[in-house]
Amino acid sequence: MKPICISLLVVLLALPNLSFNTPTEFVTSEISEDGNSVNLSAFEVRQRLNQLGGMVDLKYTTDVEKNIKYYLGRRKKRLARIIGRSEMYFPLFEHYLQVNNLPDELKYLSIVESALNPKAKSPVGASGLWQFMKGTGLKYGLKIDSYKDERNDPIKATEAAFNYLNSLYQKYDDWTLALAAYNCGPGRVNRAIKRGRTMNYWKLRKYLPAETRNYIPAFVAVTYVMNYYDSHNIEPTPAAYKFQELKTATIFEANSFYEISRLSGVDFSIVEALNPSYKKHFIPQSSYGNYLTLPEEGMMNFKDKKRQAKLDGFYRSRNADYNKYMSIPKDMIQSNYIVQKGEPLDYIASLLKCKKEDLIRWNKLRSASVFNGQELIVYLPKQSMNTKKTTTTQEPTVVHPKRVLYHYIKEGETLEEINSYYPDVTLSELIVKNKLFGRVVLKPGAKLMIKEM
């Protein structure tokens, strides 16, 4: 993945010396790091790693033990912060892993690479959560220019990292070797395989660069501590936000962080922290769209004010064609769907009874890839929805409580008119779902919850 970093060797030399000749099967060892005492039973750790299973060979070695003690000792406080940050990033990773049918444990690689810091930079130029070098980032579709560096974009860099890892797995048919190649590049792994005459990482690792020799043990150690930190009395330090408290939207027009802060009501420093890929406190215009991440309430404020500003422009222009002005296809209604964890675009298209290609076109997606929590615009034809469905004897479908379809309100629309677009939803259900009791005023540009899919 990136050239060998000398600074990592310095860190390794600073780790406590352990005897490589002492049998570890039933030994309990202790080490004190900065006043923190770590007790490990090799037998217990090995059992726990075996229980985790997975596609990567989680072998327990003295190097793995050394790394575990490093995290539980000297890096105890940092580990607590990393565990907290995982609540912000792991749901995103897990979505892409599930969609692409990749091993769940790959999410721990980002801790080895960057300690879950999206702005992490290495001395040799690697950047972001997944520490892409510039050349590799460009190869996997990440844009790097004077305005943005998508290696620091959590969503786009995660998608690129898993595409890269998957290509390495296709090459070696072994996840442990794929991880090694992610660190030092397939060329060095190929040479090690040739010299060692084996495809077993643990047997050929002596032919790999020093950093890569410790890379897999570090990964095994991180996998262990992230699953068993509570057994070692590690109390997570909560991150500023959890994944569920954030919303990401695709925006196409240029916006400064100052304007975003003003419209959303979110402090400038938070806008900056949640959008680490932009270099000049500015999101440039893009025909494909750029991602903006904000706390949920702030995103709602930002989108409402942006949409209202566009509506105000429509009213000032006295343009009779609302659909054309608001970019809504003629004779269709605009709805909204939020992607759930593990849902590929094919499934969403079948759920919404439209074509995948239409979802890509409507949302100006670069590819058929969507992320957990992404808000998709969907247009539904009025004609097909104005006819009431006939009753059938089909088995009732299981409703996922988070799969929700929304409707954007147009100027002059009434609840009865909106309800007529959705024949499988009663007017009373529409009122109850949106708490429209008493005197109801429908605000153009606002959205109504229609139904759970």
By annotation, the residues acting in catalysis are 113
Cα–Cα dist 16/155, whole Å: 37
Report the Cα 67 to chain-centroid distance in Å.
Answer: 26
Q: Report DSSP letters for 352-368, one per residue.
A: HTS-HHHHHHHTT-SSS
Q: Are 201 and 174 in contact (CB under 8 A)?
A: yes
CA dist., res. 385 & res. 135, Å (int): 49
Locate the DSSP E strands across 154-283.
Answer: 246-251, 255-256, 282-283
Contacts of residue 120, Cβ cutoff 8 Å, sequence gap at least 6: 113, 114, 127, 128, 129, 131
Residues recorded for the chain: 453
E-state strands within 34-105: 36-41
Q: Between the CA of residue 61 and those of 23, 57, 71, 198, 354, what are the distances in Å?
A: 11, 12, 16, 19, 52
User: Token pair of 127, please?
Assistant: 């950047």
Q: Give the E-state strand segments of 243-299 in sequence order.
A: 246-251, 255-256, 282-283, 290-295
CA distance 161 to 173: 17
CA 336 – CA 448 distance, rounded (Å): 10
d(CA 67, CA 15): 8
Buried b (16+ CB within 10 A) or exposed e, 183-205: bbbbebbeebbeebeeeebeebb
CA-to-CA separations, 307 to 114, 326, 334, 359, 378, in angstroms, rounded: 37, 9, 13, 20, 16
**In angstroms, how far is the first alpha carbon of the chain from the final one?**
41
What is the Cβ-side half-sphere exposure of residue 174, based on CA atoms within 13 angstroms? 17
